[in-house]
Amino acid sequence: MTQTTFQALGLADVLLSALGQMDITVPTPIQAQAIPAVLKGRDVLGIAQTGTGKTAAFSLPIIDALLKAGGRPKANSTKVLILAPTRELAVQIAENVKGFTVGTPIRHMTVFGGVSIRPQMQSALKGVDIVIATPGRLLDLIDQRALTLADVQHLVLDEADRMLDMGFVRDITRIVKMLPVKRQSLLFSATMPQNIASLAAKILKDPIRVEVTPEIVTVEKIDQSVYLVPQKAKKHWLIKHLPTFEKAVIFTRTKHGANRLAEDLGKAGIGAAAIHGNKSQGARQKALGEFQTGKMKVLVATDIVARGIHVDDISHVVNFDLPEEAESYVHRIGRTARAGKSGIAVTLCDPSERAKLRQVEKLTGLRFDVQTSEFSDASAFADEPRESRGPRQPRGGSGRPGSARPEGQRQAPRGGKPGERRGKPQGERSFAPRGEGPRSDAPRGEDRAARPNGGRGRSRGGNGSRAAG
């Protein structure tokens, strides 16, 4: 089967040259599907994970359209608006756009909170082809009359699921109302829950749906284990076992849970810092810096910031809570076993979380051998409880998923030797029926707090970057 080329997709020669300089030669599946649709002017609903090449999938054809249309943007206006949930993602998109626009007159700027707004205002007032922004700071520029959206021809919402999780729905609604009715709109999301489907229905017109189903596939070098631990005992499990871990990231479901857990660990003499969407950029960077240098060995995080954690020597990832979306499990455990190293992923599962664990198994194609722990309640098992054992330490070799095996693969029962894997036939579960608890506090905004009174609040600071093509 012949592979599609960027040239065959119909991109301008100057873009093909830029791609060549960046050593990008073959379109990814999401690029091969989305670029032709965007070039035709169609609205697009894209479902793709991080790392699939979706930034190029939407930015390349939009830049192509700008080059063909020609003309300069008016003062304090833009032709393209790309919204991202976090500063980190906005900067990442901007770096790609900068590379794609080499040798062109296309200008872009990046807008986010956390630093002075004045340089951003000065750049916006001159007019710019592409604005890459977090919602809160964008509204600040609009409120300051430094930028208008009246001339926007292309709208992109990237990682829309994270944007809604972070409480930006009101800001997004306000922004969309300012846009021209006649425009091209693209929405990309890693998942498609009901709230994203509803948002897409409001923003997109007769969209082409492009979807890349990742060959999921948890990394072979990650040793994955699941322990039955009641919710109220999870903290005690961590206090007992964390001292044996070299460097660990613990994922919680909520911001408040992250704060509370970091505080409890600190009281137990385990240095830990919490990072989540409500933490300032400076606080997140400080915590990550201390974690990276080894000054602090435990980081407690929420899914919102999971993809921004890039530290090569994380020995353990602990799922304190099962994630709401099964895909987040893969993002979480991907923080370990980086740079060719092996790692450990430990999931602490309360019986009420059994449905979430099944979702993870379905997505990954694995069956987890749920182990009892010293904190397990034997009555939570429908069958004979198995011998407790502690978490593994990372292997020096290639590793393999521990306490997990491919779907359908069965194991003969083993004895109770510590460290041996034990399996259960397909369909047989360790959990007694219990209801799942409701999700409590949903995460809120990233680059500023949620806006009162319809979203007219301001965020402080914000420095942007403007790059000439």
245 shares its domain with 288? yes
Residues 170 and 265 in one domain: no
Task: Enumerate the β-bridge partners of residue 299.
Answer: 249, 273
Are the CB atoms for 52 and 29 separated by under 8 Å?
yes
Q: Which of 372, 391, 406 is the last residue of a domain?
A: 406
Question: Which of 357, 363, 359, 327 has the alpha carbon at shortest distance from 165?
Answer: 327
Residue 177 pLDDT: 97
Query: In this structure, are 270 and 139 located in the same domain?
Result: no
Q: What is the pLDDT of residues 25-47, one digit of tens each?
A: 889 899 999 999 999 999 999 99
Model confidence pTM above 0.85: no
Report angle CA 379, 324, 91 to the nearest 5 degrees.
Answer: 145
> For the chain, what's the residue count?
469
Could you give the dihedral angle defined by the CA atoms of residues 374, 377, 382 and 384, in that order, rounded to the nearest 10 degrees?
40
Average pLDDT of span 413-437: 33
CA atoms of 201 and 247, how far apart (whole Å): 43
The boundaries of the domain holding residue 209 are 6-214
Q: Is residue 414 part of a domain?
A: no
Number of domains into which the chain is organized: 2
**pLDDT band with cut points at 50, 70 and 90 for residue 142:** very high
CATH number for the domain spanning 319: value is: 3.40.50.300
Q: For residue 48, what pLDDT is reported?
A: 85
Rounded to whole angstroms, the Cα distance separating 94 from 89 reads 9
Rg (CA), the chain: 24
User: CB neighbours (10 Å) of residue 264?
Assistant: 16
My answer on whether 249 and 370 are in the same domain is yes
Tens digits of residue pLDDT in 194-253: 889 999 999 999 999 999 865 554 567 899 999 999 999 999 999 999 999 999 999 998
Which candidate, 23, 29, 25, 33, places its Cα nearest to that of 51? 29
The whole-angstrom separation of Cα 246 and Cα 291 is 11
Per-residue confidence (pLDDT) for residue 285, from 0 to 100: 80
Same-domain check for residues 286 and 373: yes
CB 150 within 8 A of CB 163: no
